[in-house]
Structure 1
Amino acid sequence: DNAIPVGPGRGSGAGSLVAYALKITDLDPLEYDLLFERFLNPERVSMPDFDVDFCQDRREEVIKYVQDKYGKDRVAQIITFGKLQARAVVRDVGRVLQMPYGQVDRLSKMIPNNPANPVTLQEALDQDPDLRLEIKKDDTSVRLIEIALQLEGLYRHASTHAAGVVIGDRPLHELVPVYRDPRSDMPVTQFNMKFVEQAGLVKFDFLGLKTMTVLQKAVEIVEHTEGKIIDLLTMPMDDAPTYELMARGDTVGVFQLESTGMRDVLRKVKPNRFSDIIALVSLYRPGPMDNIPTYVAVKEGREEPDYMHPLLKPLLIDTYGIMIYQEQVMQAAQVLAGYSLGGADLLRRAMGKKIKEEMDKQRRMFVDGADEHHNVASEKSEAIFDQIAAFAGYGFNKSHAAAYALIAYWTAYLKCHHPKAFMAASMTLDLGNTDKLAIFKQDMDKMKLPLLQPDLNRSDAIFKVEDDGVRYALGALKGVGEQAMESLVIERREKGDYKSIEDYAGRLDPKSMNRRQLEQMAKAGVFDSLNDHRAQMADGAEVILKHANSLHDERTSGQVSLFGGDDGGAGGLGLPPLPQVPRWSALEQLAAEFGAIGFYLSAHPLDDRLDQFASLGISTLTQIEEALVNKPAARFQVGGVLLKKQERISQKGSKFAFLQLSDPTGVFEVMIFSEMLAASRDHLNPGTMLLLTVEAEQKEDQIRFTCGRIEPLEGALDNKIQTVEVECDQNLNVQELHETLSAAQGGPTRIILQVMIDGGRKAELTLPSRYTLSAEVRDTLRNQNGVVQVRVA
């Protein structure tokens, strides 16, 4: 009723037919063989729950509705306690000791930050001699660490559980102690999640799922741009193009199916029905993953399925003889050994926990039941029990997998049939995550779907669909702020396009914009349609802001300028001249763009190197991926621009690093060990172009790169440039060209001049001398009058 996107309902609750009929869940449990007893049965002791996913942006509205409906004193969030971990305890103690921020910051950043496997302060000290050395430099640092070691692990603050909400049948303070967070009007239980259920309260998970927001936004964009109304719940589940998209592994942005390893599995499995997606969501985990080759081999007819017993065939035929789901374990016990489904749920739990006493008891029940109901010999039923137990150890809840698979199918369908709307929605929901936006950009390149540069008169604060592609969002630029960009767009919608930089300055609210924001916009090319001299616009940010401020002051004071009358609020004095500065070279412009956007959008610094790479046997990421299809490992030379470096410490205490690099075909990560890291540290600054010799290995469904040699690209290749083509028009300044080339004379490179002449014809001239054309010299040539393009051939 409120147009809030809600997921199909996941967890064991999806097995309830009543929940489906009441539209709590959107999966028909009869169609997908989901068991009610997995949700609720007489033998179950713990309370069941529904996991319901809501639109991330509107989850708070749902919680407020629950408060209003049941009473604010009967609804509460659940408390969690944040602990002082290694980095945090160093920062907190340093602050109390009133140590200089820079000193404390330096120490804390030397402690490895790995949220998945946090390192203790003592482990960091044991592993890193540099950290120990840094601490010994100052007595205050020694005292800081002594205190921090004693405080580490203590509770630091109270917070709230991300999704959990409890609802009581009476005011909650009568049942549990409550706490009020000063930043919220909603009470919080003082018992954490573990103890709040033991106190008799029912926990509800109100989960905010970003994918539901993506789906809603994509559907809205399709309706707005294409005039089509899409109902996710009536979407055809047998759409061939959608399954073909999955079979190609083109699933970047598709829920649960977008990791590199999963995309590789999709290419092997080639899903062509919904049950394949459910199976993959369940199988792609440590343990069950080992069954994927068998699943593929049986599906393709290269192996015969093993159903263990004819009675189990109907249960396992859909998964090619592999027991993937907890529901299959329960049904097998019911069919073969006469268990009730409630009893079978206890069997499933016993197998999952592997408690010997309980397992021995269940084994006897299973063997006796199989003999009593179907005369199965004890040796056979013992063997089947062992096989089922092996599966049950990592069996997945099918109710949960089916709900996730449905969301995955919805996203894949939209990506297949409405790619522009889907990508615009996906990128909008990752507006502040430049790493993810770079992945989407790479995927759009493969789809041949243009990502258009940000533009003052075309872009919105969020990503939007245009006829020829997706327009980059102003709010996604680094350091500009979505709210400031939104006010700029609102002004444009209300009063029309900005006609000039002066017009923009006259309509700008200087309170919502600062110099840094304007510079970032200029570097990203936002003003190109009004002034494509990006260096001038970035340098003139202060001039524009001062002019905007003076006009704003004029308007608010109600004064009329001596130099003009009513001109729509632009003031009588015009915009002062912007600074006269040289244009950025192509590489300088790309570096500035990278700083403002977070990745290369309009071009890549290595684009004009691709021909040279080809002639010298230097591979691109795409070429390496193709080469490793038929062999597990090989050595390559690869060029890339360093995006970022992450240093780590091994268990033996030696340093290593992961380098993230970009070439014109994609982004990749290279591991570099301690000796080479120390030797090449001077080159490892973001934005540096590097040439690496790597060992590439196809491992665990992804390519792993290990660095064998690393050097600056320019120095390595400048002396190997054989030919440079300089394309010119009729405005060429021959004298200027002669002076530049005279200074570069002597070297391995020949120059071919291509000059446009009358009638659209081109004259080609090979210069007799040879030259040394460094990147600086090539940039100088690009910036000369009449030079259209400089290409390394």
Structure 2
Amino acid sequence: HASTHAAGVVIGDRPLVDLVPLYRDPKSDTLVTQYNMKFVEQAGLVKFDFLGLTTLTILRRGVDFISRMGQSVDLSSIPLDDPATYDMLSRGDTAGVFQFEGAGMRDVLKQMRPTRLEDLIAAVALYRPGPMANIPDYCRRKHGEAWEPPHEEIRDILEETYGIMVYQEQVMQIAQKMAGYSLGAADLLRRAMGKKIRAEMDHQRAIFTDGAMGRGIAKDKAVEVFDLMAKFADYGFNKSHAAAYALVSYQTAWMKANHPVAFLAACMSLAREKTEKLAALRQEAERMGIAVLPPDINRSEADFSVEQVEDGKYGIRYALAAIKKVGFSAMEALVAARNGKPFTDPVDFATRIDPRQINRMQVENLAKAGAFECIEPNRARLFHSADVILRRAHAQAQEAASGQIGLFGGGGEKEPLRLDTSPDWPEFERLAMEAEAVGFHMTAHPLDSYGLVLRKLGVTRASQLLAVAEAGVSRVKIAGCVVDRKERPTRTGNKMAWVRLSDASGGCEVTVFSEVLGRVREILVAGAAVLVSAELKLEGEALRITATDIVELEQAAAQRQSELRIWLEREDALPQLQTALQDQKGGAGRIVLLPGVTDSCDVEIRLRGGYRVTPLLGQKLRTLPGISRVEQV
């Protein structure tokens, strides 16, 4: 087959067809050389790799956000010795930072504790198979361990990297200084070493040795240095390449350390259609104390934006277009219809939007995400009224097109909409709908209602797991909502899984081996709240969490001894309450009824027998008419 380099572009001094045969890729309009990358150079063409980095767009948008916040930044003139940036990198606090996000690279930065751009360049060059064996030596020498060069003549060349050959340029410089190579000859030596051409290597060894001896260097030392160069040239990295990457990495780290709101807003803007990435960035924002404000049809833009909050600080306003199945162009049309004037109520919204741009699914998903709460706090009501809103929008558009006035109020009072009268969703359902539309829980977490139960169960929060493991604890209980489950076959033919969980403090990944997975697979579905008994094991600085048992959190809650206190406003609440409790008998909890509407009521009615008392039961009972308050103790 004909394969095409993803970023390779060739340039010649005359029409390419005069130099190489060309081929048209049937899947695109691109012309492709029929010669591969090695032969196009021999044909006289220069090859460039033009890489498209989203990081550059993140930096550009970050600068734009900073400008909207009343400041200006020129990334080409920022200080390269900023203490806050290096402190952040030394902590491994690199979520969102180009090249340095991975767990392995975070470990390298913690060991290295970089203090200069040269350290970052070395980190980029060393963190690859082969060279990474030199990382511990680099870090020890950086922090004071003595080192000696292979020969005193090349101390100045290797001083920057503490005596370790890291870059291809160092190999070339050593050849120049020790053996008198020209720049061109040194580049040929570098190529020969990289390709390990035996005949060429023997030829170069003789040239290098003779040149070094001519400069007064002993033959055995010259051979030793050449062999060392050959070893390192096998995986030596191009320093100019590493330096360019390290500079972009530093710029992103500088922006995160000094302008975190703008930086995270820019990262979220580029990840607008990547739910998992957005969830991780939101957790990072919360960890840094940055508010991520929920989507709002009166405040959100189609894209992410920065917004000043009540305390004078800035937060990140969630993008309307980041809600699932609404579309960017449709949300741009909605923001254009708003035109700087907030929608006042559902009628106003229906009469101002363009019905050609907004459909039923979009209105429903905006309602599920809570974007209409500024004009109607009952999400279910707006969700079930999507058709009503769109019918009014179409009628308004037809009226405007025909030039008629007055059918729906004209210039006077607008005809009210006959919105659905459904009660709002219970909290669990509301959060489930929100997670379905946004991709994760935005305004609250389903486990918030389990606070008392989680304390009684002795659950460890996700954000505390690493510290607990470092303190020597090996067995814990974890509660969370299932975000994702990935299975793969084992060597024995069974299956194991990695399950990602989230709680209000963050998230974690749990390994589930086949013997446990076979018992619990059916409950490990997205959105399910589960209780995991797990073993913790530190592997280096990485934490491995292995499940020994998993149960539904509702089931675990129902088995705990607790009490549900129910305040009754009216006697007619009793029949529906009796029906709701009928299926909950047989648990370890107790039900207490309190007639009256004040806390001073001194009459308590304890129902006989045990009940499965859970937060979900409490939420269901709160929606029943005649019940003023429900409290689990």
Q: Does 1:419 align with 2:243?
A: no
Q: 1:347 to 1:561 in 2, by over 3 A?
A: same
Shift, 1:531, TM fit: 0.6
Query: Could you list the per-position Cα deviations for residues 91-114 of structure 1 after superposition, in whole angstroms to 9, with x for gaps in the alignment?
Result: xxxxxxxxxxxxxxxxxxxxxxxx
Q: 1:651 to 1:689 in 2, by over 3 A?
A: same
Query: Could you list the per-position Cα deviations for residues 433-454 of structure 1 after superposition, in whole angstroms to 9, with x for gaps in the alignment?
Result: 1111111101001101010000
Shift, 1:781, TM fit: 3.8
Contact 2:569 2:596 (8 Å CA) reproduced: no
Q: Does 1:262 align with 2:108?
A: no
Which residue in the other structure is 2:316 paired with? 470
Contact 2:428 2:616 (8 Å CA) reproduced: no
Q: Match of 2:215, SS? A: helix
Shift, 1:513, TM fit: 1.2
Query: Could you list the per-position Cα deviations for residues 347-399 of structure 1 after superposition, in whole angstroms to 9, with x for gaps in the alignment?
Result: 33333333444334434444444443243351x44444443333322221110
Which residue in the other structure is 1:127 paired with? none
2:271 maps to amino acid: D
Q: Does 1:617 align with 2:462?
A: no
Shift, 1:625, TM fit: 1.2
Partner of residue 694 from structure 1, selected from 519, 534, 537? 534
Q: Match of 1:678, SS? A: helix
2:442 maps to amino acid: L
Q: How far apart, in 2, do the equivalents of 1:241 and 1:763 lie?
A: 58
Which residue in the other structure is 2:63 paired with? 219
Q: How far apart, in 2, do the equivalents of 1:208 and 1:201 lie?
A: 22
Which residue in the other structure is 1:585 paired with? 426
Q: How far apart, in 1, do the equivalents of 2:271 and 2:171 lie?
A: 39
| More divergent stretch after superposition (285-294 vs 273-282) | 285-294
Written as runs of structure 1 = structure 2, the 5 A alignment for 1:765-780 is: 771-780=611-620
Contact 2:354 2:393 (8 Å CA) reproduced: yes
Q: How far apart, in 2, do the equivalents of 1:515 and 1:331 lie?
A: 67
Q: Does 1:400 align with 2:241?
A: yes
Contact 2:449 2:615 (8 Å CA) reproduced: no
1:493 maps to amino acid: N
Which residue in the other structure is 1:247 paired with? 90
Q: Does 1:285 align with 2:131?
A: no
1:636 maps to amino acid: V
Query: Could you list the per-position Cα deviations for residues 24-56 of structure 1 after superposition, in whole angstroms to 9, with x for gaps in the alignment?
Result: xxxxxxxxxxxxxxxxxxxxxxxxxxxxxxxxx
Q: How far apart, in 1, do the equivalents of 2:24 and 2:251 lie?
A: 40
Q: How far apart, in 2, do the equivalents of 1:767 and 1:321 lie?
A: 81
Shift, 1:598, TM fit: 0.9
Shift, 1:408, TM fit: 1.0
Which residue in the other structure is 2:281 paired with? 440
Q: Does 1:535 align with 2:377?
A: no
Shift, 1:551, TM fit: 1.8
Q: 1:693 to 1:335 in 2, by over 3 A?
A: farther
Shift, 1:317, TM fit: 2.4
Which residue in the other structure is 1:602 paired with? 443
Written as runs of structure 1 = structure 2, the 5 A alignment for 1:211-360 is: 211-226=55-70, 228-301=71-144, 303-360=145-202
Q: 1:328 to 1:787 in 2, by over 3 A?
A: farther
Which residue in the other structure is 1:559 paired with? 404
Shift, 1:516, TM fit: 1.0
Contact 1:475 1:485 (8 Å CA) reproduced: yes
Q: How far apart, in 1, do the equivalents of 2:471 and 2:215 lie?
A: 51
Q: How far apart, in 2, do the equivalents of 1:203 and 1:218 lie?
A: 32
Query: Could you list the per-position Cα deviations for residues 737-761 of structure 1 after superposition, in whole angstroms to 9, with x for gaps in the alignment?
Result: 9947976677544689999999xx9
Which residue in the other structure is 1:163 paired with? 7
Contact 2:593 2:604 (8 Å CA) reproduced: yes
Which residue in the other structure is 2:553 paired with? 713
Q: 1:489 to 1:81 in 2, by over 3 A?
A: farther
Q: Match of 1:588, SS? A: helix
Q: How far apart, in 2, do the equivalents of 1:340 and 1:604 lie?
A: 66
Q: 1:722 to 1:651 in 2, by over 3 A?
A: same
1:617 maps to amino acid: G
**Structure 2 alignment gaps of length 5 or more:** 310-314
Which residue in the other structure is 1:521 paired with? 366
Q: Using the aligned pairs only, state the percent identity.
A: 44
Q: How far apart, in 1, do the equivalents of 2:114 and 2:258 lie?
A: 18
Shift, 1:651, TM fit: 5.7
Task: Give the number of aligned pairs.
Answer: 622
Contact 1:455 1:529 (8 Å CA) reproduced: yes
Which residue in the other structure is 1:661 paired with? 501
Q: Match of 1:628, SS? A: helix
Q: How far apart, in 1, do the equivalents of 2:606 and 2:592 lie?
A: 10
Q: How far apart, in 2, do the equivalents of 1:180 and 1:476 lie?
A: 38
Shift, 1:523, TM fit: 0.7
Written as runs of structure 1 = structure 2, the 5 A alignment for 1:11-50 is: none
**Structure 1 alignment gaps of length 5 or more:** 1-79, 83-159
Q: Does 1:488 align with 2:334?
A: yes
Q: 1:392 to 1:552 in 2, by over 3 A?
A: same
Query: Could you list the per-position Cα deviations for residues 469-492 of structure 1 after superposition, in whole angstroms to 9, with x for gaps in the alignment?
Result: 110000111110011001111121
Query: Could you list the per-position Cα deviations for residues 518-553 of structure 1 after superposition, in whole angstroms to 9, with x for gaps in the alignment?
Result: 111101110011111111111211221122122222
Shift, 1:594, TM fit: 0.8
Query: Could you list the per-position Cα deviations for residues 625-668 of structure 1 after superposition, in whole angstroms to 9, with x for gaps in the alignment?
Result: 1133366x934332221112223334664433332221222232
Which residue in the other structure is 1:373 paired with? 215
Contact 1:536 1:583 (8 Å CA) reproduced: yes
Q: How far apart, in 1, do the equivalents of 2:5 and 2:594 lie?
A: 67
Q: Match of 2:149, SS? A: coil
Q: 1:454 to 1:321 in 2, by over 3 A?
A: same
TM-score (norm 2): 0.88
1:693 maps to amino acid: S
Q: Match of 2:486, SS? A: strand
Which residue in the other structure is 2:312 paired with? none
2:173 maps to amino acid: Q
Contact 1:755 1:762 (8 Å CA) reproduced: no
| More divergent stretch after superposition (382-391 vs 509-518) | 382-391
Q: How far apart, in 2, do the equivalents of 1:477 and 1:192 lie?
A: 46
| More divergent stretch after superposition (504-513 vs 246-255) | 246-255
Q: 1:359 to 1:493 in 2, by over 3 A?
A: same
Shift, 1:273, TM fit: 1.3
Q: How far apart, in 1, do the equivalents of 2:602 and 2:241 lie?
A: 67
Bigger relative contact order, structure 1 or 2, given CA contacts below 8 A and separation 6+? 1
Q: How far apart, in 2, do the equivalents of 1:229 and 1:263 lie?
A: 30
Q: Match of 1:773, SS? A: coil
TM-score (norm 1): 0.71
Shift, 1:417, TM fit: 1.5
Query: Could you list the per-position Cα deviations for residues 276-300 of structure 1 after superposition, in whole angstroms to 9, with x for gaps in the alignment?
Result: 1111111222222222222222222
| More divergent stretch after superposition (521-530 vs 162-171) | 162-171
Contact 1:539 1:579 (8 Å CA) reproduced: yes
Written as runs of structure 1 = structure 2, the 5 A alignment for 1:164-203 is: 164-176=8-20, 188-189=31-32, 191=34, 194=37, 196-197=40-41, 199-203=43-47
Which residue in the other structure is 1:509 paired with? 354
Q: How far apart, in 1, do the equivalents of 2:67 and 2:356 lie?
A: 36
Query: Could you list the per-position Cα deviations for residues 558-604 of structure 1 after superposition, in whole angstroms to 9, with x for gaps in the alignment?
Result: 3334564435xx9x6432x2222232111111111111111111111
Q: 1:201 to 1:614 in 2, by over 3 A?
A: same
Q: How far apart, in 1, do the equivalents of 2:295 and 2:7 lie?
A: 36
Which residue in the other structure is 1:121 paired with? none
2:480 maps to amino acid: G
Which residue in the other structure is 1:574 paired with? 416
Q: How far apart, in 1, do the equivalents of 2:375 and 2:201 lie?
A: 75
Q: 1:198 to 1:586 in 2, by over 3 A?
A: farther
Q: How far apart, in 1, do the equivalents of 2:363 and 2:103 lie?
A: 37
Q: How far apart, in 2, do the equivalents of 1:416 and 1:654 lie?
A: 46
Q: 1:562 to 1:768 in 2, by over 3 A?
A: closer
